[in-house]
Amino acid sequence: MADISETHPGARPGFLVDEPSAAIETMFADGLTDGLPVVPATPALVGAMLEAGPWAAGDTLLVEPTRDAVVTAYQAAVCAVMAGAEPKAFPIIGATLDAMGDKRFFLHGPTTSTGGATIMIIVSGPAAATVGVHGAENLFGPGFRANATIGRTIRLVQLLCLTAIPGELDKSTQGWPGKFSLCFTENLDASPWEPLHVSLGYAADQSTVTIFAAESGHSIVNHGAGDPEKLLMTAADTMASLGSFSPGRSVVVWAPEHAAKLAAWSRTEVQEYLYEHSGRDLATLKRSGKIEDAPDRDIDWRGKWQAEGDTEIHEGDETVMVKRGWAPEDILVLTGGGTAGGHSAFFPSWSRGRSVAFITREVQM
């Protein structure tokens, strides 16, 4: 047996055990799981995982700058084995970790905050089909190995390598099931738009991961709207919900039934409509406490807050509209889900403030 803390600097003490029947309970006993059984990380399985990626065992895949925590390819491979991932998924996992280390993402925030964020992983390009990432029926739910295990690997990295233990470093007030895993791809067969990675400037034959620190999803249900604008109105109203209203970014995943009704609109036009119509008036935001009396906090919604910490309602506040986000580009739009049903989804950013950027990295298959 080997002490896992020797290969996972900063991790809780635990053991890699060559005998699978003993390893599972050992991992539970030492707090080395996400609450579900893990696959014992034998040397042969870890070696096969590493061989599937372009990195040497000691290569750094992620640096978390706030605490200067480092995650190596070997550590990631151990977590990927434990999560049940196939080796062919390892290039996606490595690209995701690289994206998480981007300073614009500020990984420490969504990892530790009370908001309970998860790392949403959107795989775009040929790698999705190669690895088996699913984008049709139940794409956010169970039943698909690549979706479940890629996201689960990232959570195990946060738990074991970044020591984001619930109640200790991870201060999520409630959390949500997406913290086990939230990885998916587009349903390109049903999409009226070009693939996400192409819209971001990549070639069609390239593959990418785009990450987002996501709050739990909100359902956009409309079975009756045939007119695109009525459907967009429903989505914009969902996005303007006070409970999750912020200047942060958003992801909207249109079900194929809804996407077909939007086919005459470009992705950009959809983003622009949602941005223009998902606001709230300043007076309502003040009445509801969404503008907090906290002058020491950095609150800046492009001037719409008027004065920092100013919660008093002034003449004209009823007509001053505060937008969700800062620009249409703050709303990521794609198609995903099964072909039947008018059920789309809106995922807000995790924070009451500006939160983190969308980060995209190419996947090297």
- At 7 the pLDDT is 54
- At 15 the pLDDT is 45
- At 290 the pLDDT is 84
- At 317 the pLDDT is 85
**Does 150 reside within a domain?**
yes
DSSP state letters, 136-204: STTTTSSS-HHHHHHHHHHHHIIIIIS---BTTTB--SS--GGGT--EEE--GGG-SS--HHHHTT--T
**Does 120 reside within a domain?**
yes
Q: Which domain holds residue 167?
A: 12-215+356-365
Neighbours of 103 (CB within 10 A): 11
**Does 232 reside within a domain?**
no
User: What is the chain's pLDDT, residue by residue, as a tens digit (365 residues)?
Assistant: 455 555 555 444 444 556 667 788 888 998 999 999 999 898 999 999 999 999 999 999 999 989 889 999 999 999 999 999 999 999 999 999 999 999 999 999 999 999 999 999 999 999 999 999 999 999 999 999 999 999 999 999 999 999 999 999 999 999 999 999 999 999 999 999 999 999 999 999 999 999 999 999 999 999 999 999 999 999 999 999 999 999 899 999 999 999 999 999 999 999 999 999 999 998 898 899 887 654 443 444 444 544 445 678 888 889 888 889 989 999 999 999 999 999 999 999 998 888 899 999 999 99
**Does 324 reside within a domain?**
no
Cβ pair 351, 113 in contact under 8 A: yes
**Domain count across the chain:** 1
**Does 57 reside within a domain?**
yes
Question: Which amino acid does the sequence have at 33?
Answer: T
**Does 115 reside within a domain?**
yes
**Does 140 reside within a domain?**
yes
Question: Which amino acid does the sequence have at 263?
Answer: A
The candidate with the shortest Cα–Cα distance to 213, out of 134, 107, 139, is: 107
- At 2 the pLDDT is 52
Looking up tokens 């999409």, which residue turns up?
A: 191
- At 82 the pLDDT is 96
- At 305 the pLDDT is 43
- At 268 the pLDDT is 98
**Does 340 reside within a domain?**
no
Cβ pair 198, 267 in contact under 8 A: no
The model's pTM: 0.92
